[in-house]
Amino acid sequence: MCGICCSVSFSVECSREGLKEDLLHNLKRRGPDSGKQLFKSAVSYQCLFSGHVLHLRGALTTQPVEDERGDVFLWNGEIFGGVKIETEQNDTQIMFKYLSSCKSEADILTLFSEVQGPWSFIYYQASSHHLWFGRDFFGRRSLLWQFGNLGKSLCISSVGTQTLGETKQWQEVPAAGIFRIDLESAASSRCVILNFYPWTHISEENVAEERVDVLTQVSAGLPTFVSIVMNEFKLYLAKPVVPLNMTLPQAPLETHCRKISNVPPTRETLEVFLTDGHMKRIVHQFIDVLSIAVERRVLYLLRDKNLPPDEVLKACNKKANVAILFSGGIDSMVITALADRHIPLDEPIDLLNVAFLMKDKTLPARLNSRREQKDGCEMPSEEFPENACAVHGDSRADAVPDRITGRAGLKELQAINPSRVWNFVEINVSLEELQKLRSTHIRHLVQPLDTVLDDSIGCAVWFASRGIGCLATPDGAKSYQSSAKVILTGIGADEQLAGYSRHRVRFQMLGLEALSEEIAMELGRISSRNLGRDDRVIGDHGKEARFPFLDENVVSFLNSLPIWEKANLTLPRGIGEKLILRLAAVELGLTASALLPKRAMQFGSRIAKLENNKEKASDKCGRLQVISLENLSFEKETKL
């Protein structure tokens, strides 16, 4: 995980300007282990590169990196497959080595087509004055762009910031391909032309029409002096996943499920499906491919290998390297059960469970007293006051749905592996703390997304991934802060396996073909709806989000299956949606959690409706906006 940024100026008066302090601050929080800035100047433009690294694998490599030709590379990604890399190697060094050996644009596209894993990058070629940048196919790493007035400047960054009165808006770089700018040409014309290289299935028909549609989509909302054009040679990136199987069954689904369609969801009902040899085989294939995805995400990180022998046996004294956003629901339970297979047994696993308290209750001031940043955001402390758990153990949290299912899920995991130290971290957030940290810090991370739903999920994920809470131990409640740098999240399961209520409505109204189209749309928009935001809020703690359900091989496997083998919405809630995942849970030894119906994080954590019961999820959220008290007073006066 890194914070990467490139600021380009085409104006003489802006030369040698540094990054704004608040933007630099947000970048540093993503990469606390090293940081550097590099200035590159040409006759007609200047570039400032800023890189901030969270060290997770291989040798610590400070970014930006530069070679003897003056080329510069910023990388925020993980190589989990597709490109050869040894366990002890650093992926930034490997990617820059491969890039430096590329002889043509086609070589660069081939390289990025092969990388399996999340990434965003910025690559400057000094001799040609070309600046390349982009995000992976799913958009699992955040990247934003901001264009200065009249083409005088541009900035590409992992994270942005809001400034009162700022007219230049940050936007997410579309995860539809990668982009290249000729900086000399942009400087002379004061018109930024982005050459576009889209993701395309090689065997797809109507490729030309699809490219035109994508070009229209990625150009939306850009200033008039910015244009996106298809690259001259019509080159493209090869999509890393197989196309979605749109096959329809020859007979109605009801004929297959008539005997159990009206039966309440029970484990026995699920076990009926596993008596079918074909279904059981598919379920085990799914478990295998998902298990490999989890394995790569929990093992590709640094671990303490030089502990003295007596310390190795003291698992209770070891710190967790991996944490999981944990509600006790089916997605997080399956991910956790698979992580348990691959994480060393003497290493604890942190289960991060967040709950929002319905009434205001102030946390002790010293709880977040390590340091105060210049943006007013107080950062978590390694030390806690003695009474911290009296606050964190607030009884109001006991009624929060995700706390109830989380504790039940913990018992299931303890039954599956009683030898593992499971750190169930109860994270309770008061209304006062929510409002304070949202206004001073979190809203900068959620932007440019701006709906009530973005506010709810962004805040919930930020507090959960911060990892400050309380553990229940035999000696009583204990204050705890997760030290895990890697956080697994179950996002992607609902989108692929018809987990949302809107999927059931779509199916009931328009049938199976419409459901398949809805799922295709879900995958197409997951970068702009979820992943950039979640990467920004998790990365803000110097931690890296990893998404097993969005592993390229997992998505390809699920895409290859017909829809009714993944989900069967003729069956009741708790069985039909995410059917293949529920069957996998049964095979992994999970019990009650295999039957839990979908509950969205904003409702499970009780953050939704905490402040305004009349809001809709799609409404613009005023709490995410920067508005001064002076402006509010002026608006009131003008209305009067």
Where helices occur in 443-598 by DSSP H, the ranges are 443-446, 452-466, 493-496, 501-510, 512-526, 532-539, 552-560, 579-587
Q: How far apart are CA 218 and CA 196, in angstroms?
A: 9
- What is the amino acid identity at position 564? W
Q: What pLDDT does residue 377 have?
A: 39
From the list 144, 177, 219, 79, the residue with the least C-alpha distance to 532 is: 144
Domain of residue 21, CATH code: 3.60.20.10
Parallel/antiparallel/unpaired status of strands 144-147 and 65-66: unpaired
Same domain, 188 and 276: no
Read off the CATH number of the domain in which 476 is found: 3.40.50.620
* Whether residue 469 is found in the same domain as residue 571: yes
Which residue, of 205, 238, 271, is where some domain finishes?
238
Flag whether pLDDT at 166 surpasses 90: no
Model pLDDT, residue 379: 44
- The domain in which residue 442 lies consists of 263-624
CB 141 within 8 A of CB 76: yes
Distance, in Å, from the CA atom of 367 to the CA atom of 470, rounded to the nearest integer, reads: 12
The answer to whether the pTM exceeds 0.85 is yes
Q: Is residue 629 in some structural domain?
A: no
Q: Are the C-beta atoms of residues 526 and 492 closer than 8 Å to each other?
A: yes
- Position 305 scores a pLDDT of 59
Mean pLDDT across the chain, nearest whole number? 86
Using DSSP's 3-state secondary structure scheme, residue 42 falls into coil
Q: What is the pLDDT of residue 375?
A: 39
d(CA 608, CA 390): 25
Is 639 within the bounds of a domain?
Answer: no
Has residue 341 been placed in a domain?
yes
Which 8-state DSSP code applies to residue 482?
Answer: -
Q: Tell whether the model's pLDDT for residue 636 goes beyond 50.
A: no
Rounded CA-CA distance 455/433 in Å is: 15
Same domain, 195 and 325: no
55 plus 169 within the same structural domain: yes
- In sequence order, the β-bridge partners of residue 226 are 192
The verdict on 24 and 154 lying in the same domain is yes
The more confidently predicted of residues 315 and 172 is: 172
Residue 599 and residue 465 share a domain? yes
**Would the pLDDT of 178 be above 50?**
yes
371 and 466: one domain?
yes
Is the same domain home to 162 and 205?
Answer: yes
pLDDT tens sequence across 405-443: 999 999 999 999 999 999 999 999 999 999 999 999 999
Residue 594 within a domain: yes
Residue 247 lies in a domain: no
Residue 161 lies in a domain: yes
Mean pLDDT within 577-597 = 95
Number of domains the chain is built from: 2
Q: Is 2 known to be catalytic?
A: yes
Burial-class residue 245 by CB neighbours within 10 Å (0-12, 13-18, 19+).
middle
Question: Do 171 and 288 sit in the same domain of this protein?
Answer: no
Q: What is the pLDDT of residue 389?
A: 62
What integer pLDDT is reported at residue 374 of this predicted model?
37
Give the model's pLDDT for residue 266: 85
Whether 632 is covered by a domain: the verdict is no
Residue that has been written with the tokens 């609902």 in this structure: 494
Q: Is the pLDDT of residue 628 over 70?
A: no
- Are 324 and 233 members of one domain? no
Candidate from 105-114, 216-225, 442-451, 588-597 with smallest mean pLDDT: 216-225
Q: Are residues 140 and 284 in the same domain?
A: no
pLDDT tens profile 519-553: 999 999 999 999 999 999 999 999 999 999 999 99
If asked whether residues 228 and 290 sit together in one domain, one would say no
Whether residue 637 is contained in a domain is answered as no
Max Cα-Cα span within the chain:
76
Averaged pLDDT for residues 364-381? 40
Mean pLDDT of 328-352: 97
Catalytic residue among 2, 6, 389, 621: 2
pLDDT above 60 for 317: yes
What pLDDT was estimated at residue 12? 65
Q: What is the pLDDT of residues 13-48, one digit of tens each?
A: 655 667 889 999 999 999 999 999 999 999 899 999
* Residue 609 pLDDT grade (very low, low, confident, very high; cuts 50, 70, 90): confident
- pLDDT at residue 160 above 80? yes
Distances (CA, A) of 348 to 173, 323, 340, 522: 37, 9, 10, 34
